[in-house]
Amino acid sequence: MSSPPSSTHETPSNAVEVESLTRRYGDRVALDGVSFSVPTGQTLAVFGPNGAGKSTLLKVLATLLRPHEGVVRVLGSELPGEAWKVRGRVGYLGHEPALYRSLTARENLRFAARLHGVDDDRVEELLDAVGLTRRGDDRIDEFSRGMRQRIAAARAVIHDPPLVLLDEPWSAIDPGAIGLLEPLLGRGTGRTRILVTHDVARGIAEADVVIGLLAGRVHVAGPASSAAAVEAEALFA
């Protein structure tokens, strides 16, 4: 599971390239001329206060929202025109677990697995990985928030995507269980990761590159080992 994700597609040097991205909700500008790139296999941490546009950015990259202006290239495909090429190659973990509450954990994962053409062995492998094999036949509405988050994390990587988009992936998970997610979402997986978090210290520790958003604009950007990270920590921690 910790081996680099398999892909039959040609690997671009930058997994994500964003130039002058603008996205609006009605008259409100959520992202205003955002530009950055993420080399394949690296981790970008995105920081910013509530309403800065972090979740909107992830949704645009996940093809859930269309960019209104600018160029967005994900895994070598330009959005929104080639969104169909990107779907199925991206793992998305939103800040809400987004699971069918009346279905069991196993049924939720099997549903996602079948949509992605993945066999049921992978479901059992992931239930084991997140430490919930024995609770696999319990309904999601009987799970704690942290357990739901673990199932949602398993679902995000059920198709072994080369790019994962993570919105507060550790929220509600107790410290003991955070380690369970490492083989799925951690640096060792070889996946390109874009990580939105309010936990600035942890985000910097996980990241190769950081950006800080304020009111939809990139306020700080640079390598995680540079002064940009220090400025991000001072601004958003």
Site for another protein in 98-117 (CB under 8 A): 98-103, 107, 111-112, 114-117
Residue 154 makes contact with another protein by CB under 8 A: no
What's the min distance (Å) between Cβ of 222 and another protein?
30
Separation in Å, CA 154 to CA 15, 53, 93, 113, 138: 22, 25, 9, 10, 16
Q: Which residues contact 182 (CB under 8 A, 6 or more apart)?
A: 188
In the complex with another protein, the residue whose CB is nearer, 158 or 232, is: 158
What's the min distance (Å) between Cβ of 114 and another protein?
5
Per-residue binding string, another protein, 55-74, x by CB under 8 A, is -------xxxxx--------
In the complex with another protein, the residue whose CB is nearer, 139 or 187, is: 139
Find, among 190, 167, 210, the residue nearest to 50 by Cα. 167
Residue 19 makes contact with another protein by CB under 8 A: no
Site for another protein in 155-194 (CB under 8 A): 155
Interacting stretch for another protein, rule CB under 8 A, among 40-48, 82-90, 200-208, 218-226?
82-90
Number of residues near another protein (by CB under 8 A):
29
In the complex with another protein, the residue whose CB is nearer, 116 or 217, is: 116
Tokens of 173: 């998970």
- What is 160-190 written as a DSSP string? --SEEEEESTTTT--HHHHHHHHHHHSGGG-
Residue 96 makes contact with another protein by CB under 8 A: yes
75-101 core/surface letters (b: 16 or more CB in 10 A; e: else): bbbebeeebebbeebbbbbbbebebee
In the complex with another protein, the residue whose CB is nearer, 196 or 221, is: 196
Residue 203 and residue 169 in contact, taking contact as beta carbons nearer than 8 Å: no
What's the min distance (Å) between Cβ of 205 and another protein?
28
What's the min distance (Å) between Cβ of 118 and another protein?
11
Q: Which residue has the tokens 């199932």?
A: 151
Q: Which H/E stretch holds residue 35? A: strand 28-39
Residues that bind another protein (CB under 8 A): 62-66, 84, 87-90, 92, 94, 96-103, 107, 111-112, 114-117, 139, 155
